[in-house]
Structure 1
């Protein structure tokens, strides 16, 4: 993507290439169909092996008259592929940068941050992070896009090549940390369980709740590190 200068247009959209979405919508159902064909091809053989657990589905597939059994399994594979494609495309991130604000869109979810409220923008691994005054975290989004930095720089956002200006302030969370605000330990404990169970939506919601009481949290290998918003 060739990012134009800010004065040449009102906004810049950074997103995955269009061919990726087409490839996902075509490739996932095709992969599902091939998987279904493969399952059907080995169903009779697996059903003959007494030591294989959960033989019921394989016996059922092998018992369906042909070609209906093959068509049914391929149809299920295609349906599973379409579901996977939908979830994949829904999770793709689109970033719209303008002189007034930055907007993150993922599926039907959309979130905007005004330029005037932003004090720093940087990458934390594969996540793009936006900070406000006193170091409050305004946004954190998983990001696999290219040319993100160029888009922000083109509109004079405060991009930081050096990463988080508060990186040295983080401390690893331990239960019942006495210096945290009231309620923060309970939220961090609940978030630890969400991280352990790979419940990303719950972890993100709890991160937002922590931000409301002035606690910024980052993760490293499912370990939580925290800092307080200044002031």
Structure 2
């Protein structure tokens, strides 16, 4: 068995990601005057004056400059995707998780369970606290095999699934500050503010609150 195993984008994914966006950007840039001319002919299309101006530009230098801009845009997109995609390095002793230019290291001896909640990789401490949750692009079967090979406590589902209860406003069993954060998170979910909901989940995790989302409903368990 390899001492270290990496999970994340596959070699094929990386190849397509590196090649396709700059090529598409270059093609769109090269033909942008023709595209603008065709788009300007659509009656309901806004910014007609701008499209007419772009369509009026002539000369190979225009297409070349636009193609270069398209390539640069494609490269920026590649960097963004690589930074936003979870990369996981697993050894027998620890897990290193790379995302958003951040690195989180978790020693194996503090982990009680590793499982997938939908597309999210979830890692729990021995007290049941959620110490990591991020979306993984790797398939569940592959993630499971890697963690099992390195002798981590992989679970096929949340080991605390029976301990969650549906949250409602001003829940009598939860502290006021927890209810306030859950209420704010419910609003974020309803308004489809995914990043705000994610931040609030992390804030609640610090308070010992673990959340399972189902059909825009929050199911909660508190760590004693």
What TM-score results when the alignment is normalised by the length of structure 1?
0.84
Asked if 1 retains the 8 angstrom alpha-carbon contact of 2:113 and 2:125, the reply is: yes
Alignment correspondent of 1:114: 107
Question: What is the alpha-carbon distance in structure 1 between the residues aligned to residue 114 and residue 72 of structure 2?
Answer: 40
Alignment correspondent of 1:18: 11
SS at match of 1:139: strand
Question: What is the alpha-carbon distance in structure 2 between the residues aligned to residue 173 and residue 141 of structure 1?
Answer: 22
User: 5 Å matches for 1:90-169?
Assistant: 90-146=83-139, 147-161=142-156, 163-169=157-163
Asked if 1 retains the 8 angstrom alpha-carbon contact of 2:31 and 2:63, the reply is: no
CA drift of 1:104 comes to 1.0
CA drift of 1:51 comes to 4.3
Q: 1:137 to 1:73 in 2, by over 3 A?
A: same
Q: 1:11 to 1:75 in 2, by over 3 A?
A: closer
User: 5 Å matches for 1:25-44?
Assistant: 25-44=18-37
Q: 1:40 to 1:173 in 2, by over 3 A?
A: farther
SS at match of 1:227: strand
Q: 2:169 aligns with which of 160, 172, 175?
A: 175
Question: What is the alpha-carbon distance in structure 2 between the residues aligned to residue 125 and residue 156 of structure 1?
Answer: 22
Asked if 2 retains the 8 angstrom alpha-carbon contact of 1:101 and 1:112, the reply is: yes
CA drift of 1:61 comes to 0.8
CA drift of 1:140 comes to 1.3
Question: What is the alpha-carbon distance in structure 1 between the residues aligned to residue 35 and residue 147 of structure 2?
Answer: 53
Question: What is the alpha-carbon distance in structure 2 between the residues aligned to residue 137 and residue 51 of structure 1?
Answer: 50
CA drift of 1:110 comes to 1.0
SS at match of 2:9: coil
Q: 1:54 to 1:172 in 2, by over 3 A?
A: farther
Structure 1 residues 14-23 or 111-120, which shifts more? 14-23
Q: 1:56 to 1:25 in 2, by over 3 A?
A: farther
- How many residue pairs get aligned? The number is 222
Is the aligned partner of 1:207 residue 2:195? no
The gaps in structure 1 that reach 5 residues or longer are none
Is the aligned partner of 1:187 residue 2:181? yes
Alignment correspondent of 1:69: 62
The alignment's C-alpha RMSD in Å is 2.3
